Amino acid sequence: MSDAIAEVVSTPLVVFMFALVAGLILYWLGGKMSPKFSAVGGKAKAYTGGEDVPGKKQQVTYQFFHLALVFTVLHVTTLIVATAFFSGAGVVAIMYLLIGAAAIVVVLAG
């Protein structure tokens, strides 16, 4: 009977649920132990380097998204090509490298 229980408890879904419940309990306990926030003086104002910073609205741009996407494609392509060469699939690695290069060109072009 204990083997069946150990098999059920060690499944990824059950382990994830235990970890999620443990995290929620720790979050709840941390909230109970922490002091309550009170906006006294300039506590809630923006502050940097000893000087107050005037608040202003920032315009959201997607330039960083393109850069992050290029780096992601580069890293995944490098990983696939490196493992393909070590496993003896050189032609597949070169084809994947060309596909990755085409993806980078598409992202940078438009």
Query: In the predicted model, is pLDDT for residue 52 greater than 90?
Result: no
Q: Is residue 50 part of a domain?
A: no
Has this prediction a pTM greater than 0.75?
no
Domain containing residue 91: 59-110
In a domain, 105, yes or no: yes
The answer to whether residue 42 sits within a structural domain is no
In a domain, 53, yes or no: no
Q: Is residue 52 part of a domain?
A: no
Return all residues near 53 (Cβ < 8 A) that are at least 6 apart: 46, 47
Indicate the number of domains in the chain. Answer: 2
- 4-24 tens-digit pLDDT: 888 888 888 999 999 999 999
Residues 66 and 104 in one domain: yes
**Which residue's entry shows tokens 């490196």?**
82
Residues 29 and 64 reside in one and the same domain = no
Distance (Å, rounded) from C-alpha 80 to C-alpha 93? 7
**Residue 51 within any structural domain of the chain:** no
What would the pLDDT profile of 85-94 be if each residue is shown by its tens digit? Answer: 777 777 777 8
47, part of any domain: no
Q: For residue range 24-38, what is the model confidence (pLDDT) as tens digits?
A: 999 999 999 998 888
